[in-house]
Structures are given as C-alpha cells and as structure tokens.
Structure 1
Amino acid sequence: MNEQAPELNLGMRILLQGEQSIYNRILADIAMGKLVSGDRLVTTQLASCYNTSINPVREALKQLEGEGFVTSQKNSGARVAAFEYATMREVFEILQLLEPYFLSWYANHCSQESLTRLAEIQAQLKTLAVTDSAGLRDLDTAFHWEMYRHHYNASALRLWKNKKLILQALHGDLPVCQERFNATLKEHDHILYLLNARDDESAVRALTKHVISGGEYWSSVITEQLSELSA
C-alpha cells in the first residue's frame, strides 16, 4: 500500500459524495491505484489509515471479498484480488438497467439550467486532449451525474455510484483509445441535442446505446488483455 494518498479527482468526489464508508474508501483507494492487485490488507494498518476501529474494516473487507475485490487465505491473509471479466460484465448489465431509468425521469423534468450545465460539461470534454483518459473519465462521470442527480430514488442513485466506483477500480488505469474517446463526445452531443429538443424517448434510446457501446468497448479491451496474459 502506497503511503501517499492521491487527491480525489472530480469523478471520485462525485462518486464518494456523502458515501464515506470504510468500504467506499478502500474501493476508492483501489480505483486510484493506492492499493493494487496483490497488496496485503492488514486490518490494523487499514484501521489506523482510515482512523477507525478494526470491526468496520473487517466488515468492509468481507463485503469486498464477496464482490471479488479481495481474496482471503489462511496463511497470507487478505489481499487485493486480480479482477475478473465477469465482475465488469455484471456491473455494466446493472448500469444498462439503471441509467435509462434515471434519464427517462430527467427528460421529463430537466430544467433549462441543468441542460445549460450539461452543455458546459460537454464543452469542457471537447477541450481535452484525446490522450487525457483520466480527464475523460472525470467529465464523463460529471456529465452523467448531472442527468441523474435530480432523481428522487436515492437508493438507486447510491447503487449507481457504487457500480461506477467499481468500474473505476476495474479499469481506472487503462487508457481510452482515440476512436472511443471521439465516439463518447459524439454520443453525448446526440443525447444533449435530443434532450433540448424534448424528444424524451429518443434520448433514452440514445443513452441506452451509449452505455452499451461503453460496455462493449471495455469488454473488448479486457478480453484482449486477458488473451495477452494467457499467451
């Protein structure tokens, strides 16, 4: 475990807003590369790091083990796991259900102020260099959060944040290729256009396609990586 904690980036601040449980803090440290695959997770050290008692750390590690982020063996104790393709696939399947649900409500209730904010975030995205994968992740999270944060279902929003945080942990250190970078901007433009046109059904369809495209891209990236490792 690296001693210096990196500052929370924009996307992480959004995902952790009001969610500072020990579970989320450990998952965030994995997502930001402070904890990497193979690192030992010593409960006393983690309790000291997070300024808490041992029991909350044990509970968090048990939950993370159940989700595949932590492995536990008798002789070596708990360690950060090597992540599996199946975990990412399951997360994307959940997001494909949640995000259209959020947008269908937003499309009927969004204010002009919120649409203006969306356009501002999209404008910021367009200023990024195509090599700035971290910036893309941050502003993409901000773009989606602006559409979803107004929703009345707080439990569903917490679930979305959790799954996005898990995605960051799964592939937060992988670069985004230029083709996917440009496709993301184009898909955002189309969603924003449909929202401004008040074409609610088309906006939901466009968002669904956007989420599926992202899932297919990352699935192909991870599959390629696994093939290279096994070659």
Structure 2
Amino acid sequence: MNNQPYKIPAQSVIFEEEIKKSLFITQLAHTPSVDEAKAFIESIRQQHLNAGHNCWGYVAGRPENSMLWGFSDDREPSGTAGKPILAQLSGSGVGEISAVVTRYSGGIKLGTGGLVKAYGGGVQQALKLLQTIEKKITTKLRLQLDYAFMPVAQSLIAQFKAQEVQADYSDTISLVIEIERLLVADFTQSIINKSGAKAMVKSLEDNNNN
C-alpha cells in the first residue's frame, strides 16, 4: 500500500484551439473514482451532442495505478485520440483526473499523425493551465487514555496535524483521530513514550477513508 501523497486537480480547466478548421475543446476535471470519471465524460457528451467526437481518457486513482485508467477514441481512427489523451494524463503525475477532448470538424482531414498531435497536444496545453493540490493518504486511530494525559495528547494531535473525529468520555477517554499514514509510527511512539506506555493506540484501518 502506497502511503505517499499525490497531486490531484484543484479545479476544472478548459482549453480550446482551432487546427485546420477543426475546433478542439479540452476539458479536465477532478474525478476521484471510475464512476465519477464516466459521469463527467457523459456530462461533456451531453453538452456537445452535435460534435463529431468526444474522445476521452481518465486516471481514476493514484497516478501510477493503471488498473484505474481508461480511454476512448469515440469513432476517431484507432489509436489517434484516446491513447494520446491517456499518455498525457498518465505522464503528468496527477491522479484522479479525467480529460474529454471535443472535436467539431471543419471538413479538412488531419491524418492519423495530425489527430494524435491535436488530441495529445490539447491535453498537454490544458495540463499547463491546471492547478493541483496534494492529497494526503490518511487513516484513523483510536486512542485510549486517562484524563490527566488529555492536554499532552491534544498537543501531539496538533503537532502531527491530525484531526479529532470522535471523543467518548467515561472512566477513561476514547478518541478517534484521522492522521496521515506516513506519520502513524512516529505519532504512536511519541504518545506511548510521553504517557509512560499508559495510552493505548489502535488502528481502525477497516474504517479508513482511502
């Protein structure tokens, strides 16, 4: 399991260009799953029902997870649209991203090389306009601790930029926190050391949000 953060789109992007009388409209969007990628592609298709082609590609998870990649030439000659689109996306290092390139043909044939350049180039230009944010991979931990240790625990939670998700107060305090996976080992060690091994830390990996 890869715990490293990765880049995702911060917002949608549209890039338009005219090549030999054909209008190419490239749209990028943040799509965290295959279903959301397909819904985005369908929404663009509905916007451009009169277009000759709505070619697309998506990377619907971590950038390197090819199990979540997809593409379509949408009636363009095989290999001239979907693959060049996906090649740009998969090479960008950005995850959870979809691209749809809409083509309104102007009647001049571009040839296979021209199509590859147009579709891949549109996505390349759109990617230059894209702003990204970092997606951190998080998990949830349950902390069991005495009331006297609460101030120290809260200080460590803040120090490790964790979020308190749930708190139950009875004989002892039970906290559920969300924390970046990369920091779990250091956080656990710190809380055990500072509590004299009295604080209990348990992973709730089954409930993690990733």
TM-score by length of 2: 0.22
Higher helix share: 1
**How high is the TM-score relative to the length of structure 1?**
0.21
Higher relative contact order (CA 8 A, sep 6+): 1
Compare CA radii of gyration and give the structure with the larger one: 2
Structure in which a larger fraction of residues adopt strand: 2
